[in-house]
Structures are given as structure tokens and as C-alpha cells.
Amino acid sequence: MQLSSLIDPAFVQLGVVALDWRDAVRACCAPMVLAGAFEGAYVDDIISGAEEHGPYFVLTRGVAMPHGLPETGVNAPALGICRLEEPVDFGNDACDPVRYLLPFGSTDAEAHLDALAALVDLIGDSAFFATIDSACDPQPVLAYVRAAEKEREEA
Amino acid sequence: MTYHALVCCRAGMGSSMMLKIKADQVIKENDYPITTRPGNLKALKAFTGDLVITMNDLVDEVRDEGIYAVGVDDILDVGQIKAGLEAFLASKKGEA
């Protein structure tokens, strides 16, 4: 399954205002909850998991991929892209503050290995984040993801 | 001798998968005798391999189980992954 097929345009949010990391996690997951892909309990699990174990889903400088235990409430695989208006601290000194959130839920990670490999490339690509910074609507962001996917396939 | 590593995060399907992809790149480039598989914290309880590669937040929980752990703060920090794996291999040299 391709990365772009996990991202509904409604899951791309640009300029979200969040008070702290918990607020940011709730806000970035809100469109998936609304669409029925995630249950509210899944979002609660992401937050309680980070409270218990630390922010294990902060990936690199400024970027986090909030995700939890799928059995707590993932109905359909989904990935969001969320740019915060002001970055927030998650408690990972090497990577704080975090401006970009990539909330993820999947019931079968093996099936999404290609998509996650594409995502590893994207989080190391400064032009991807420049596109997110300059975008006013989801289209340029989704177009960038699709173009990067095509490039991977041809490589 | 090939060492078996579990790449784990709390859920076993998000950051651990991405960390596995990155760790596999480092292992391949440097030809380290290590194979990896992904897992979650539950898989840790039944773990019989040689080391665990995980996000730094979870390192203490892994070490509490008495397992060698390589902690990573930033999955794109290839230098940190490389240094952690080399330290593991160096720790095994005396045993061989």
C-alpha cells in the first residue's frame, strides 16, 4: 500500500494552534477520529503511552509520529500531516521543539512497510518540510508525497 | 556468528518499523553481522536474541530486563546508530 493512499486531504492540517504536546496530539488526530479511522480511545492510548514510557514516537528534530497500540482503536490505516502554528516540547531534548506531527495508525504494519520506508525518506528531506511550510491547502503537500513515491518506484 | 536484534517501540508498528529501516541501512552499509526484526514491548518478555535497538525513552525498561540495549534519540542520526551498534560488537569481542 502506498503512503499517499493513507493520507486523506482532510488529514492534512496546516497552522494548528496547540497549548502543549497533549493538545497537539489530540488536534492532529482529530480529523481521523471524525472520519472514523481512529477511535477516541486510540488517541487516549497515545497520550497515556507517552506519559508512561516517554515520547517514544518523536522521530527526529522537530518531527513526531504519534501512534499507539492498534488494538485500542484503529479501524482503518491512516496517516496525517499536521504543521503546528507554534512548536511544542515533547520531552526529547535531542528533537524538541516539535512543529510537524505525523499521526499514524495501522492494524498491519508489515503491509505498510513500503509506505513507512517512503516516510523515512520524507522526514529526511528538507524540501518536504519547506513544502508543508509554504502550503495554504493540502494539495501541494499531497502532490509532493505522490511525486516522491513515483521517484522511489522508478529508482 | 550473526547477532539477532529486536527493534522495538511501545507499539511495534510505527517508530520501531522506521528505526528498523534505518538500522538495516546502517548494518548493510557497514556489513555488521546483525539481523533485525521488529517488535513491541510485549515481545521483549519472550526475547531470546542478543540486543535490542529502541528509542532512548525505552532503553531503561529494556536494560531492566537484563538485555543489551542500543538507544536512539533521532532515527535519522546515522552516526548515533552506528556508534551504538559498534559498541555492542566491541562488547562481544572478548567473548568470542
Instruction: Choose among A61, A65, A94: nearest Cβ to B15.
Output: A65
Q: What do you get for the CA distance between the two ends of chain A, in Å?
A: 18
10 Å Cβ neighbour count for B54? Answer: 28
Instruction: Choose among B10, B74, B76: nearest Cβ to A49.
Output: B10
Whether the predicted pLDDT of B53 surpasses 80: yes
> Between chains, do A55 and B75 touch, taking CB under 8 Å as contact?
no
- The rounded distance, in Å, linking the Cα atoms of B17 and B9 is 9
Let me know: does B72 contact B26? Beta carbons within 8 Å. no
- The rounded distance, in Å, linking the Cα atoms of A130 and A142 is 13
> For the whole model, what pTM was predicted?
0.92
> Between chains, do A67 and B14 touch, taking CB under 8 Å as contact?
yes
- What's the total number of domains in chain A? 1
> Between chains, do B10 and A120 touch, taking CB under 8 Å as contact?
no
Q: What's the confidence (pLDDT) of residue B87?
A: 96
Whether the predicted pLDDT of B81 surpasses 80: yes
Considering only CA atoms, which of B86, B69, B66, B84 is closest in space to residue B7? B69
Average pLDDT over residues B34-46: 87
**Distance from B9 to chain A by nearest Cα, in Å?**
7
Alpha helices in chain B (DSSP H): 15-30, 41-45, 59-64, 78-93
Return the domain boundaries, chain B: 3-93
Kindly state the percentage of chain A with pLDDT values over 90: 86
- Using only C-alpha atoms, chain B has a radius of gyration, in whole angstroms, of 12
Residue A17 domain boundaries: 4-154
Each residue's pLDDT expressed in tens, for chain A with a length of 155 residues: 789 999 999 999 999 999 999 999 999 999 999 999 999 999 999 999 999 988 989 999 999 999 999 999 999 999 999 999 999 999 999 999 999 999 999 987 777 888 999 999 999 999 999 999 999 999 999 999 999 999 988 88
Q: What's the confidence (pLDDT) of residue B96?
A: 56
- The rounded distance, in Å, linking the Cα atoms of A143 and B78 is 28
Q: What's the confidence (pLDDT) of residue A96?
A: 96
- The rounded distance, in Å, linking the Cα atoms of B14 and B31 is 25
pLDDT band at B61 (very low <50, low <70, confident <90, very high): confident
Average pLDDT over residues B41-53: 88
Whether the predicted pLDDT of B16 surpasses 70: yes
Considering only CA atoms, which of A85, A9, A6, A5 is closest in space to residue A38? A6
Residue A66 burial by Cβ neighbours in a 10 Å radius (0-12, 13-18, 19+): buried
**Distance from A71 to chain B by nearest Cα, in Å?**
10
* CATH T-level fold of B3-93: Rossmann fold (3.40.50)
- The rounded distance, in Å, linking the Cα atoms of A124 and A20 is 25
Note the pLDDT tens digit of each residue in A65-100. Answer: 999 999 999 999 999 999 999 999 999 999 999 999
Whether the predicted pLDDT of B42 surpasses 70: yes
| Predicted ipTM > 0.90 | no
CATH number of the domain that residue A33 is part of: 3.40.930.10
